[in-house]
Amino acid sequence: MIRRAVSAVDQRTGAGSILGKALRYVFPDHWTFLFGEIALYAFVILVGTGIYLTLFFEPSTSQVVYHGSYAPLRGQEVSKAYQSALDLSFNVRAGLLIRQVHHWAALTFVAAIVVHLMRIFFTGAFRKPRDLNYYIGLTMLMLAVLEGYAGYSLLDDLLSGMGLAIGNAVALSIPFVGGQIGTLIWGGRFPGTDAFMSRLFIAHVLLLPVAIGSLIAVHLAMVATPHHTQFRGRGRRETNIVGTPLWPAYALRSLGLFAAVAAVLFALGGLVQINPIWQWGPYEPYLGTNGAQPDWYLGWLIGALRLMPHFDLTVGSYTVVPNPFWGGVVFPLLVFGFLFAWPAIERRWSGDRAQHNLLDRPRDNPRRTAVGAALFTWVATIFFAGSADRAFVQLGVPYEGQLWAYRVASFLLPIAAYFLTRRVCERLREEESHPGRGSGARAVARNQEGGFEELRPGSAAGVADGERG
Amino acid sequence: MIGRLLRLCRWLWRIAIAGVLLWLRRGKEPLPERELPASPRAEKGVAALLVGAGIAGAAFVLIYGFDEANTQLLGVAAATALGLLAIALIVAAQAIVPQETLSEERPRFADPAAERGAEVDEIAMRAREGIDGITRRRLLGAAGGAAALGLGAAAAAPLASLGPRVGDRLRESPWRDGTPLVEENGRPVLADDLTVGGFLTAFAAGSDKRDLASSLVVVRVRPEELELPPERADWAPEGLLAFSKICTHAQCAISLFRYPLYPERSPGPALVCPCHYSTFDVLEGGKRIFGPAVRPLPQLPLKIEAGRLLAAGELSGAVGASWGGVEEGS
């Protein structure tokens, strides 16, 4: 029966040989390769749950009086978008489950991409011939952040409106053309016209997902063409790949991972409340709430907006570069620009222009690992600065003091991270021990005075002993 | 010091990773090999897990069918079904199907040093053959560039239809001399609505409340506390002050008013934006005293007629976030 199916496909498409190759496609066995797969599967779940949500959601800012099943809001003027989001949460069976799974999947999607990016960075997987694919991956990360922001902005609840107000301010802050760009996208001054809502909607449900989906297809094709990277090990060379073939063990394992990701997301969506928009209430430009926090992947930007001292670039009495530009545009551009530039910087620094299919362990290239650690420390420090107001409310640490501490830390911690990481990597490399598997045993020898001294590889006694033992 | 830190890292690392390592059976070295581990016991176990997943899926449908489809139960049922399926697939992958480690040669990519070099030369030659015999390459190139530029501009131009021209749109405001202040429900704001330390939100009568320039915060302080600049001396009758409610940093609504309960020890009255904690001094007419905002909060001059609050002029500056070209000090 299997033979008949294969033959039927081959007769009609001539794809038999490709299929045969695909079944034997070899995947390396290492747990760090799972993060990219988790991101992929989160995306699949996002598309599935997202399609279900579009069947009920109405992207419109026209105002209606709420008469739905959430009693505390009855009689309030709300937008149709907000009303339909409430209705699909309360009146559509399984609607709330799907909405919460969608939100959790979005958080997971971006998180998995970031961890995957760290894996790629610290193991040098971005080197030729994979640098193009690394750029595609970075582009997808930016699109994923934008897609998530567009998604939670659609609901027109108080938090999403505050997020859009900040987004509009960041758009306005672009020098020279900011006013035009903001007015263009929003169809006027903030909060904009009804047209803005439909633009945001089509961006969230069509433009951005199609862009991400197409880039995923290219990304995977460009992973498969040169085959996966692999760590050094017995029998593993630059020119081969050792691991588990797709069929059957890897396919089952990967589908198992898909089911596991889905299971966790459904458990979260069912049991852990996320973004209860009925508690925030509808958005009006004149309403605000204290303690507003965005989804986690925007934390680094709110941190940057808060940390930035009050400074505009002015000419005479006119503002040329308003303040939100520094934290909202320059900071993310610096981070992404550096990540995009890194393969070229490293090529120049090391003079290494060869193709690499074998991965470095992080310690194998102390300088790269230290630079990566410094960059991620920088972003993480600013990310945590975004939660300073919560730390003030929960722990009573004065906000102003925290702000100054974070400002200093955002300069000092990356430098400290650089030198510490570099030293640790060099030490590990010298000792040739693994942080996870390094043996705690030490070889000692009795010396002529009757005491003991440690044998180090390379020391005269060590060589002699090594030969003896 | 470094050595001790390393040891500590080592232990943390060991604990964190041990579970993952065990689960993935990191013990064996991968070498080309194939074994058939299938055992009747593992097969029975996987079958049981799959049946369990099916039952949990059916339970999801049952719960869904009930009137009060409970989100928590639905989530647990779906997660159980998917979780059992995940375990079944992973057990099957590890203990039923043939375990194989393969070694495959990689396709070779162009490398100046490697044998693909000749192939690259050939492709480049073919590409060059396509433009053989053309004499005016530069002219054609420039003309093509002109075509691309014009067509590109034509393709991009309709984007301008998205929005109106900026013009003065970002400066528009419903406030004129004599515009009455009203509350959210349209009731006129009276001077007596506010006691010292009080705070309310007001709008321009007859305007759209969603208009960014319409909303105000009105506060009352003791008149003798005021430190307004001389030209604003008469903007705050009876200690009543009105400011735009929209923060000049990133346009969130100023929803926090701090009024000192014990002025000797506490900082003075201020308006605070909850998004990035820009803080504006009330007594000095909306001057920024903390946070990332740069421009002061626009102030509206007030007057009282027959107990009602009216605007006595226009807002002192542009409402909302700054954009390139806005006047700094306003």
**Tens digit of each residue's pLDDT (9 = 90 or more) over A253-278:** 999 999 999 999 999 999 999 999 99
Asked whether the predicted pLDDT for residue A330 surpasses 90, the reply is yes
Residues in A touching B109 (Cβ below 8 Å): 129, 226, 355
Extended beta strands in A318-363, E state: 318-321, 358-359
Confidence of residue B25 (pLDDT cuts 50, 70, 90): low
pLDDT mean over A369-386: 97
**Does A442 contact chain B (CB < 8 Å)?**
no
Confidence of residue A469 (pLDDT cuts 50, 70, 90): very low
pLDDT mean over B266-284: 93
Residues in B touching A166 (Cβ below 8 Å): 250-252, 275
Looking at the structure, do residues A122 and A261 belong to the same domain, yes or no?
yes
Residues in A touching B275 (Cβ below 8 Å): 162, 165-166, 288, 292, 302, 305
Confidence of residue A457 (pLDDT cuts 50, 70, 90): low
Final residue of a structural domain among A223, A258, A286: A286
CA dihedral A106, A107, A109, A115 (to 10 degrees): 170
- Tens of pLDDT, residues B157-175: 988 888 777 667 788 899 9
Asked whether the predicted pLDDT for residue A14 surpasses 90, the reply is no
In this complex, the residue of A166, A188, A310 whose CB is nearest that of residue B252 is A166
How far apart are the C-alpha atoms of B317 and B329, rounded to whole Å?
8
Q: Is the ipTM of this complex over 0.90?
A: no
Asked whether the predicted pLDDT for residue A465 surpasses 50, the reply is no
Looking at the structure, do residues A62 and A207 belong to the same domain, yes or no?
yes
List C-alpha distances in Å: A11 to A2, A251, B290.
14, 25, 74
Best of A162, A177, A189 to substitute, by most chain B Cβ atoms within 10 angstroms, is A189
Phi, psi of B128 (to 5 degrees): -70, -35
Contact (CB<8Å) B323/A312 = no
pLDDT mean over B18-43: 68
Smallest CA–CA distance, residue A424 to chain B, in Å, is 7
How far apart are the C-alpha atoms of A42 and A147, rounded to whole Å?
14
- Residues of chain B with pLDDT > 90, as a percent, come to 62
Asked whether the predicted pLDDT for residue A462 surpasses 50, the reply is no
In this complex, the residue of A235, A252, A264 whose CB is nearest that of residue B97 is A252
Final residue of a structural domain among A260, A286, A312: A286
Best of A25, A30, A96, A97 to substitute, by most chain B Cβ atoms within 10 angstroms, is A97
Looking at the structure, do residues A278 and A365 belong to the same domain, yes or no?
no
Q: Give yes or no for a contact between A171 and A161, defined as CB atoms under 8 angstroms apart.
A: no
Smallest CA–CA distance, residue A158 to chain B, in Å, is 11
Best of B9, B33, B71 to substitute, by most chain A Cβ atoms within 10 angstroms, is B71
Residues in B touching A322 (Cβ below 8 Å): 294, 321-324, 326
Q: What's the length of chain A?
A: 469
**Element holding A27 (H helix, E strand):** strand A26-27
Burial label, A132 (beta-carbon count in 10 A; 0-12, 13-18, 19+) = middle
Contacts A–B by Cβ distance under 8 A: 337
Contact (CB<8Å) B103/A256 = no
- Would you say residue A279 lies in a domain? yes
A269: CB partners within 8 A, 6+ apart: A97, A98, A99, A100, A101, A102, A103, A104, B75
Looking at the structure, do residues A263 and A387 belong to the same domain, yes or no?
no
A348 or B15: which leads in pLDDT = A348
Helix (H, G, I), strand (E, B) or coil at A77: strand
Contact (CB<8Å) B274/A291 = yes
Confidence of residue A463 (pLDDT cuts 50, 70, 90): very low
State which residue of chain B sits closest to A189, comparing Cα positions.
B170
Looking at the structure, do residues A269 and A407 belong to the same domain, yes or no?
no
Contact (CB<8Å) B83/A239 = no
Q: Give yes or no for a contact between B278 and B249, defined as CB atoms under 8 angstroms apart.
A: yes
Final residue of a structural domain among A230, A253, A286: A286
Looking at the structure, do residues A404 and A272 belong to the same domain, yes or no?
no
Residues in A touching B37 (Cβ below 8 Å): none
Q: What is the pLDDT of residue A319?
A: 87
Structure tokens at B221: 């302080």
- Tens of pLDDT, residues A38-52: 999 999 999 999 999
Residues in B touching A190 (Cβ below 8 Å): 212, 251, 320
Helix (H, G, I), strand (E, B) or coil at A282: strand
Residue A61 belongs to domain spanning:
30-286
Q: Answer positive or negative: Cα dihedral of A385, B294, B270, B303.
A: negative
Asked whether the predicted pLDDT for residue A79 surpasses 80, the reply is yes
Asked whether the predicted pLDDT for residue A447 surpasses 90, the reply is no
- Tens of pLDDT, residues A268-307: 999 999 999 999 999 999 999 888 889 999 999 999 999 9
Q: Give yes or no for a contact between A242 and A236, defined as CB atoms under 8 angstroms apart.
A: yes
Q: What is the pLDDT of residue B324?
A: 79
State which residue of chain B sits closest to A438, comparing Cα positions.
B10
How far apart are the C-alpha atoms of A362 and B16, rounded to whole Å?
17
Confidence of residue A1 (pLDDT cuts 50, 70, 90): confident
Asked whether the predicted pLDDT for residue A445 surpasses 90, the reply is no
A401: CB partners within 8 A, 6+ apart: none
- Pairing between β-strand A358-359 and β-strand A230-231 as defined by DSSP bridges: parallel
Q: What is the pLDDT of residue B154?
A: 95
- Looking at residue A157, the DSSP 8-state letter turns out to be B
| Distance, first Cα to last Cα, chain B | 56
Contact (CB<8Å) A305/B292 = yes
B295: CB partners within 8 A, 6+ apart: A312, A319, B248, B288, B317, B318, B322, B326, B328, B329, B330
- Helix (H), strand (E), coil (C) string for chain B: CHHHHHHHHHHHHHHHHHHHHHHCCCCCCCCCEEECCCCHHHHHHHHHHHHHHHHHHHHHHHHHHCCCCCHHHHHHHHHHHHHHHHHHHHHHHHHCCCEEEEEEECCCCCCCCCCHHHHHHHHHHHHHHCCCCCCCHHHHHHHHHHHHHHHHHHHHHHHHHHCCCCCCHHHCCCCCCCCEEECCCCCECEHHHCCCCCEEEEEECCCCCCCCCCCEEEEECCHHHCCCCHHHCCCCHHHEEEEECECCCCCCECCEEECCCCCCCCCCCEEECCCCCCEEECCCCCEEEECCCCCCCCEECEEEECCEEEECCCCCCCCCCCCCCCECCC
- Tens of pLDDT, residues B82-118: 999 999 999 999 889 988 888 988 887 766 555 667 7
Beta bridge partners of B99: B35
**Does A48 contact chain B (CB < 8 Å)?**
no
- Tens of pLDDT, residues A389-442: 999 989 999 999 999 999 999 999 999 999 999 999 999 988 876 655 555 556
**Does A177 contact chain B (CB < 8 Å)?**
yes
- Would you say residue A449 lies in a domain? no
Q: What is the pLDDT of residue B24?
A: 60
- Would you say residue A108 lies in a domain? yes
Q: What is the pLDDT of residue A468?
A: 35
Give me the residue spans of the domains in chain B.
34-100, 171-311
**Element holding A20 (H helix, E strand):** helix A16-23
Closest CA to A86 of A158, A154, A155: A155
| Cβ count near B199 (within 10 Å) | 18
Best of A266, A306, A432 to substitute, by most chain B Cβ atoms within 10 angstroms, is A266
| CATH number of the domain to which A124 belongs | 1.20.810.10
Q: What is the pLDDT of residue B265?
A: 84
Residues in A touching B172 (Cβ below 8 Å): 189
Residue the block writes with tokens 């530039």? A341
Tell me the pTM. Answer: 0.89
| Distance, first Cα to last Cα, chain A | 60
Structural domain tally of chain A?
A: 2
pLDDT mean over B273-293: 94
Contact (CB<8Å) B106/A357 = yes
Looking at the structure, do residues A242 and A372 belong to the same domain, yes or no?
no
Helix (H, G, I), strand (E, B) or coil at A242: strand
B169 or A310: which leads in pLDDT = A310
**Does A289 contact chain B (CB < 8 Å)?**
yes
Q: What is the pLDDT of residue A437?
A: 57
**Element holding A78 (H helix, E strand):** strand A77-79
- Would you say residue A138 lies in a domain? yes
Q: What is the pLDDT of residue A54?
A: 97
Contact (CB<8Å) A243/B30 = yes
Q: Answer positive or negative: Cα dihedral of A61, A63, A69, A73.
A: positive
How far apart are the C-alpha atoms of B162 and A242, rounded to whole Å?
54
CATH topology of domain B171-311: Rieske Iron-sulfur Protein (2.102.10)
pLDDT mean over B326-330: 62
Smallest CA–CA distance, residue B126 to chain A, in Å, is 24
- Tens of pLDDT, residues B197-253: 999 999 999 999 999 999 999 999 999 999 999 999 999 999 999 999 999 999 999
- Helix (H), strand (E), coil (C) string for A246-280: HHHHHHHHHHHHHHHHHHHHHHHHHHCCCCCHHHH
